[in-house]
Amino acid sequence: MTPSIQRPSAQTVSRQRYATFVVFCLLAAMVLEDPLAIGGARPDFLLVALTYGALTWRGQAGALLGFGLGIFRDALVLSHFGLHALGMTVLGYGLGKSRETLYLTTPGVDLALLAGGKLVLDVLILGVAASGSWEAFETRFFWEGPLSAAYTALIGGLCRRLFLGR
């Protein structure tokens, strides 16, 4: 008898690719977000990893991934510690559950969810950071929010094509 060679399954390859994708997003969040900023808008690489992970693995895994990525973001920012963890946990769960109800799984829908997720996260983060000042929230959200959401969706779509190939 000759020993059989086991090939990695499609799911294993997918996990390896996604792990590489997450590592890239973690490094990009530390190194590339500030240099890629346009005005006050910058792409959110951690949200990109969260969105595609939650859409792939559904609600509970999306919430767990969101919590981990949120704690990582909180460790980078060091203001309002725990706020990103809360926001990304809720967002990861919501995105994961939305995949169960959506019939379309096209890249355009994924990009719309990515941009919408960025806007929702910005409402939470900027709302708390404004400390009750409507002018501070209005200035940051309405001037930076839409551009940042579009920018994150564009970068997210490119990263998905490069790393996940779908």
Domain boundaries, the chain: 12-164
Q: What is the pTM of this model?
A: 0.84
Instruction: Tell me the C-alpha distance between 49 and 23, whole Å.
Output: 9
- pLDDT mean over 84-89: 94
Mean pLDDT computed over 128-148: 81
Q: Are 127 and 165 in contact (CB under 8 A)?
A: no
Residue 134 has pLDDT above 70, yes or no: yes
What number does CATH give the domain 12-164?
A: 1.10.1760.20
- Reported as a pLDDT band with limits 50, 70 and 90, residue 50 is very high
Q: How many residues does the chain have?
A: 166
Cβ-Cβ contacts under 8 Å for 143 (sequence gap 6 or more)? 39, 40
Q: Token pair for residue 138?
A: 């209005």
Q: What is the pLDDT of residue 87?
A: 93
The predicted pLDDT at position 3 comes to 53
CB atoms within 10 A of CB 19: 10
Per the DSSP assignment, residues forming a β-bridge with 80 are none
Residue with tokens 């990695």: 8
> Does pLDDT of 8 surpass 50?
no
pLDDT of 6 reads 45
